[in-house]
Amino acid sequence: MDIVSLMGNISFSWNFVVSFLSIILIDILLAGDNAVVIAMAVRSLPKKQRKNGIMIGAGGAAVLRIILTFFAAKLLSISFVRFIGGLFILWIGIKLFVEGAPEENFKKDVKTLKQAVITIIFADLIMSTDNVLAVAGASQGNLFLLIFGLGLSIPFVVFTSNLLSKLIDRFPFLIYIGAAILGRVGGEMIISDPYVIKLFQPSHIISYLLQGAFAIVVIVAGKILLKIKGVKKVEPSLSTEYKNLNNPFKIDSWDIR
């Protein structure tokens, strides 16, 4: 079997063209959620490192997508896989909200390039299962179209991530929208888990309401953590001042003339 036959038939038949265009549309539509994660993950990085974070993170995620292609369908049919993945996405949403929220009550820790890349890769791996399955279905068994679709998702995600990163810098309130989107995605994964569906059989309306609730939960949890961190940052300085006020005999420096 030669490489050409292994890659699939490349022709301009109607089915091939429809599959080709469908894959492009799928990549455009599904690139948004992944781009939100990347844009929020690199926001805490110095501006010179953001581009590297986006490129390395998106590239590493693309490699994992190709590996995921071969057993994504089987994974998603296993109970609790989507549930645990959804919880992980919710945690990432809260974590990125806390790191990038526009509040200036306390100094935020600067994230390293390595930490940003790890966050991007793991989040993208979890969130890309639907993307991989959609592209695999649209390719109709044509390996060329499958590889084309997975490869095409990289420039879409990189471009969108760069754009969102700049927009978040200019309009910091977009962090709230990004966190809400991640909350919705995490909630959708939890609700669509085979075990949850079997146990509760939620209707479409209930599913949409729960997704909205999870979006709100991520923001509220993030705000609570911000307040907790703010209190921890302020308490030491207050306690020191209090001790100084109650110790009139303390000498901070010697003034000998």
* Average pLDDT of the chain, as a whole number: 78
Q: How large is the average pLDDT for residues 100-123?
A: 72
pLDDT tens for residues 190-206?
998 899 999 999 898 99
Distance CA 140, CA 8 (A): 10
Decide if pLDDT at 247 tops 70: no
- Alpha-carbon distance of 12 to 3, in angstroms, equals 19
Instruction: Tell which residue, 54, 189, 183, has the closest CA to residue 129.
Output: 189
Higher pLDDT residue, 232 or 24? 24
Q: For residues 129 and 141, give the distance between their C-alpha atoms in angstroms, rounded to a whole number.
A: 17
Query: Which of 92, 103, 86, 123 has the alpha carbon at shortest distance from 223?
Result: 103
d(CA 242, CA 228): 21
How is residue 230 written in tokens? 């703010």
Give the whole-angstrom CA distance, residue 43 versus residue 239: 33
Distance separating alpha carbons of residues 41 and 38, to the nearest angstrom:
5
Q: Which of 142, 160, 127, 12 is nearest to 61 (CA)?
A: 127
Percent share of the chain, pLDDT over 70 = 78
Least confident of 17-26, 67-76, 170-179, 233-242: 233-242
Other beta carbons within 10 angstroms of residue 207's beta carbon come to 17
Return the closest-CA partner of residue 84 out of 168, 186, 15, 231.
186
Q: What's the pLDDT band for 125 if we cut at 50, 70, 90?
A: confident
Domain boundaries along the sequence of the chain: 3-238
Instruction: For the chain, state the CA radius of gyration.
Output: 23
Number of Cα atoms under 13 Å in the Cβ half of residue 231: 5
Burial 74-92 (b: 16+ CB within 10 A, else e): eebeeeebbbebbebbbeb
What's the confidence (pLDDT) of residue 11? Answer: 59
Task: Select the highest-mean-pLDDT range: 110-114, 135-139, 168-172, 240-244.
Answer: 168-172
